[in-house]
A and B are shown apart, each in its own frame.
Chain A
Amino acid sequence: MIAAKGICKFYGSGENRQEVLKGVDLNVSDGEFVVILGVSGSGKSTLLNILSGLERADSGSVQYDGTDILRLSDSELTKFRKAQVGFIFQQYYLLPHLSVEKNVRMGADLAGNRNYADVIEAVGLADKRKKYPGELSGGEQQRVAIARALAKQPKVLFCDEPTGALDEGTGRQILDYISKLQKSSGISVIMVTHNQNIADMADSVVRLNSGTVLEVRENGKQKSAYEIGW
């Protein structure tokens, strides 16, 4: 269970000081699929970074089962991330000097997961295992980032535009895989997206607008990745 309260975040100083998050509250229960929607620049990526302990908020608290991660020391935060979270970044952040397989193993080895090959296969990159990120297309790189996060078998998965670079077919396939994993292993998924349709798959939908939560909507009936529009 994740409970975020009153999260504020400022960037810049002096005249350039900008309040990017203005007291955001958010609750995510175990095994929940949450989608965060909002226009570009509304603070979605910043919110994800704070929820996952990558960045510290200027005020507020982020509690995981009662532990406030904003109060953890850096080494405690590292342990926390190792045990709990997986990331799929908007900019991928692959290690360019390592092959696809090694990039995925970076996540898998942390969790002692020996079945990383299955994950690579699930994102459709089995034949590109030995390639390097620079030799892949944008969408393929995104899928490596996805495989790396999933191979880590996290308890909470943070995804920032995980299908932004994918075509409809591949996008649906990946979303289907993520949602099946979410249901079968009971992980929580927090996903940022521009695609309104993906919201139909979620348990709840959060609308963010210039740093404040506009609405939180519970989804009565979730659709599968192949039922949503695109």
Chain B
Amino acid sequence: MVIGIKDALKFIGISIVVCCAAFVCTLFLNYNLDLKSFGNIPDAAIPLYNAQLSMGKAIAAISGCGLALTSVVLLVFYLKNYINAHGKQLGILKAMGYSRFSVAKHFWIFGLSVFLGAAIGFLAAYLYMPTFYRVQNADGLLPEFAVRFHFELLLYLIVLPTLAFACLAVLYAIWKLKAPVLNLLRENCTKTIKAHKERDESFLKGLGSATLKSKKLLIFLIAFSAFCFSSMVQMSLSMFDLASETFAWMILMIGLILAFMTLLMSLSSVVKGNAKTIAIMRIFGYEYSVCSNRILGAYRPFSYVGFVVGTLYQFALLKIMLGVFFADVDIPVYTFDWKALAVALFAFVAVYELVLFLYAQRIKKLPLKSVMEE
């Protein structure tokens, strides 16, 4: 069959996201479970005890849910892309008479990318845990307690997500393979084009909107990654005001890794998705800068929309979460963090333009023939 372990490795973006989620959740949930197993806590430590329990829950919930959602979106996007790119092979199998399920069942292998990420995150969390416990109890208010392994976490954070994602991949493939054989065999974007009115304008003028219309998924991806970038970076930066410095640094590191990963991945999808058009235009003698402005530039406004929505989202999420989990704990009132917004916006613009610039250098060096024949 056409799908192998190698293909699952291409979903490394998901592995990384899942790895971060598993790391954070394992760390905090394990700590909370150990903390809860205490019989009697000294009176002086009760506020700290409560605060730590709430903090653990809040962080595990925010990062767990947020990242799980991110990975579901990424998985669906990747699968859609994969099926588009391999439409010919899948279509041929279907045309030869393989049933939908017999083709789709091989998609379980994409669950492996989740397993890989979750397992690494889980292991890393247990390696870091002794240090974490020491930092959490730096003032020595709580009695000494050792790290204990909780089997249920293994089940919830590795086994179940892997199974869930494997099932999701297979179900999604079954659904996508419902398409008629010919649609799978043909080039992916030709089938969906409706007879929309094309205005009588020059080739270059209409190019941007036609490009956007042909691959709507990419618009979504770019907006989504900008959304993730803006919300993750701002949320991580806000942590410095809300939580202890160790937490804040840890969250910031994770937030930054994820933000860069998603943005990088979506930009590379956009560039790859349009590489052929750019190659053909360059063969005819259009300069790279013209192609890039018209085609890649068309996505830029959507990235800013995503950024704005992400800003609002993280503000609302933090406000609500802090309200729910810290209702009875004394922490500073959370207000909108303008400084974080400025930093995030600057980082976003810089990364976005830098990545596009680097891609431009790479595309320019590629032989035109090789781009077209992919």
Which residues of A come within 8 Å of B, CB atoms?
49, 54-56, 74-75, 78-83, 85, 87, 91, 93, 95-99, 101-102, 105-110, 130, 132-135, 152
Q: Is the CB of B286 within 8 A of A133?
A: no
What's the nearest-Cβ distance from chain A to residue B207, in Å? Answer: 8
Using known A-B contacts A83-B285, A102-B210, A109-B203, determine if residue A96 contacts B189 with beta carbons closer than 8 Å: yes
Which residues of B come within 8 Å of A, CB atoms?
186-187, 189-191, 193, 195, 198, 202-204, 206-207, 210-211, 213-215, 276-277, 280-288, 364-365, 367-369, 372
Using known A-B contacts A54-B369, A99-B198, determine if residue A132 contacts B190 with beta carbons closer than 8 Å: yes
Instruction: Tell me what chain A mostly uses at the interface: helix, strand, loop, or mixed.
Output: helix
Chain A residue numbers with a CB within 8 Å of B193 are: 97, 132, 134
A105 to B186, CA, bound (A): 24
Chain B residue numbers with a CB within 8 Å of A101 are: 198
Q: Is the CB of B211 within 8 A of A78?
A: no
Known: A81-B284, A95-B280. 14 other contacts (CB 8 A): A49-B369, A54-B368, A55-B368, A56-B367, A83-B285, A87-B283, A93-B372, A95-B277, A102-B203, A109-B204, A110-B284, A130-B195, A134-B186, A135-B190
Q: Is the CB of A105 within 8 A of B202?
A: yes
Chain B residue numbers with a CB within 8 Å of A106 are: 203, 281, 284
What's the nearest-Cβ distance from chain A to residue B315, in Å? Answer: 38
Q: Is the CB of A75 within 8 A of B287?
A: yes
A133 to B285, CA, bound (A): 22
What's the nearest-Cβ distance from chain B to residue A87, in Å? Answer: 6
Q: Which of these, B211, B288, B364, contacts A97 with CB under 8 Å? A: B211
Q: Is the CB of B206 within 8 A of A78?
A: no
6 closest Cβ pairs, A-B complex: A134-B190, A82-B285, A97-B214, A105-B203, A81-B285, A109-B203
Q: Is the CB of B286 within 8 A of A78?
A: yes
A98 to B49, CA, bound (A): 63
Q: Which of these, A93, A102, A130, contacts B280 with CB under 8 Å? A: A93
Q: Is the CB of B285 within 8 A of A134?
A: no
Q: Is the CB of B189 within 8 A of A74?
A: no
Query: Can you pick out 20 interface pairs between chain A and chain B where the beta carbons lie within 8 Å of each other?
Result: A49-B369, A78-B282, A78-B285, A78-B287, A82-B285, A93-B372, A95-B280, A96-B214, A97-B189, A97-B210, A98-B203, A98-B210, A102-B210, A105-B203, A107-B284, A109-B202, A110-B286, A132-B190, A132-B193, A134-B193
Using known A-B contacts A93-B280, A97-B213, determine if residue A130 contacts B369 with beta carbons closer than 8 Å: no
A130 to B190, CA, bound (A): 14
Chain B residue numbers with a CB within 8 Å of A109 are: 202-204
A166 to B267, CA, bound (A): 40
Chain B residue numbers with a CB within 8 Å of A134 are: 186-187, 189-191, 193
